[in-house]
Amino acid sequence: MTQNYDTIQIDVRNLWKVFGNNPRLVFQDKYASASRAEIQEELGQVVALRDVSFKVQKGQTFVIMGLSGSGKSTLVRCLIRLIESTQGEVLFDGENVLTFSSDKLIEFRRQKIAMVFQHYGLLPHRRVLDNVAYGLEIRGVDKDERHQQALEAIETVGLKGWEYYLPSEMSGGMQQRIGLARALAANSEVLLMDEPFSGLDPLIRREMQDELISLQASIQKTIVFITHDLNEALKIGDRIAIMRDGEIVQEGSPEEIVTLPADDYVTSFVQDVSRSKVIQARAIMQEPDAVVNDWQGPRAALHAMRSGDTDVLFVLGRDNVLKGVLTEDQAGKLARQKVESLRGLELDQVMTADPDSYIEDLIPMAAQTEHPIAVVNEEGRLLGEVHRGALLTGMSDEATEA
């Protein structure tokens, strides 16, 4: 199958890393289904990565999540050959990094990759400005230019005014911002972030996660983010790969991971996660039971309600823009008064949400209305409706019936 590298930035294929004096022993047929522990016991080799494959799209935040020892750090290091893998391919923009000469590898790392670590990796005797400019300095960018770019990055991460301080004069959260600014200043396409927020206090950590999300909305880098914290993964990841004993046991969107865990292991991880924080309106909305256009009269409305088996109706204007709701009582009254058109009528207002809203955000809305919540796009066009029941179960009525 041909791959489209206009959109795929990283393509990891069947990657293995075996630590030990004779890694090839592991590839004998008889160990094909042996566990990592068995292999270690019998062969004395540690399988840190076992046949790992995944793709990361450009501009995506791809999270690799797993407990200590699952192989996350080994994996990110293998991506840029800080560790040499045993077998497999790592393609960046379609080129296999594992075949690069050492010169090409150095060039590739400098141009394309920026890293952010848990232990910030800052130079203690350099001021913030020079720490942030460091990546550009080793690329040979002249001083004015690199300071200019560094200042912009410092501002982006909210450290304006701290340019001439030393890292040791700043808090953990601020030092992590310096690390992030350094990665941004380098203006590389890919950010590799290895547990960047793990050393921070919970409050600061949440703040940094929020900032990363809003930053990413504007910078749109390709981010590979390592964490052992499922909530962090669910919060920031577009896609999440869950690792166990060197293997990816599931890869999917946050919603898929929570609602369709692939096995008992993932299930045990996600059981404490609140579904309301990861399930979005788009997943639980359903086709509106009934809609009518505002120039159609009340009789058409009543007919639509009966055929949709509902006692409320969304009224749409031109281009399906939502105008409001009409109840059966109202429509009946209008029909008796022989009103010909719904145009210009005072309709009941309806709660609207965009398709990305989480159940968590929809519940307070549902408390304020008896009507279904309308899911609309940016132009106000009706995309679907969410019923109260769907908020409780996290499934649309249609899905429940199916």
Q: Which residues are within 8 A (CB) of 242 and not within 5 positions of it... i.e. 6 or more apart?
A: 65, 66, 248, 249, 250, 251, 257, 265, 266, 269
Amino acid identity of residue 308, one-letter, is: G
Q: Please choose, from the candidates 344, 351, 346, 343, the residue with its C-alpha nearest in 3D space to the C-alpha of residue 330.
A: 346
Q: Of 4 and 21, which has the nearer Cβ to ligand ATP?
A: 21
Query: Alpha helices of 221-291 — where are they, by DSSP H?
Result: 230-236, 254-259, 264-270, 281-284
Q: Of 83 and 345, which has the nearer Cβ to ligand ATP?
A: 83
End-to-end CA separation in angstroms for the chain: 34
CB of 64 to ligand ATP, least distance (A): 9
CB of 86 to ligand ATP, least distance (A): 12
Q: How far is CA 334 from the centre of its chain?
A: 48
CB of 265 to ligand ATP, least distance (A): 14
d(CA 217, CA 236) in angstroms, rounded, equals 11
CB of 158 to ligand ATP, least distance (A): 28
Q: Of 68 and 168, which has the nearer Cβ to ligand ATP?
A: 68
Q: Of 130 and 195, which has the nearer Cβ to ligand ATP?
A: 195
8 A C-beta contact, residue 243 and residue 72? yes
Q: Of 73 and 396, which has the nearer Cβ to ligand ATP?
A: 73
Beta bridge partners of 83: none
CB of 204 to ligand ATP, least distance (A): 20
20-25-26 Cα angle (round to 5): 85
Amino acid identity of residue 234, one-letter, is: L
Q: Of 73 and 222, which has the nearer Cβ to ligand ATP?
A: 73
d(CA 388, CA 375) in angstroms, rounded, equals 13
CB of 89 to ligand ATP, least distance (A): 19
Q: Which residues are within 8 A (CB) of 310 and not within 5 positions of it... i.e. 6 or more apart?
A: 289, 290
Q: Of 19 and 165, which has the nearer Cβ to ligand ATP?
A: 19
Q: Of 109 and 228, which has the nearer Cβ to ligand ATP?
A: 228
CB of 83 to ligand ATP, least distance (A): 8
Q: Of 70 and 216, which has the nearer Cβ to ligand ATP?
A: 70
Binding-site ranges for ligand ATP (CB under 6 A): 19, 46, 48, 66, 68-74, 228
Q: CA-CA distances (angstroms) from residue 339 to 90, 207, 293, 296, 308? A: 68, 55, 15, 10, 22
CB of 73 to ligand ATP, least distance (A): 3
CB of 63 to ligand ATP, least distance (A): 13
b/e burial code for range 357-391 (CB count within 10 A of at least 16 → b): bbbeebeebbeeeebbbbbbeeeeebbbbbbbebb
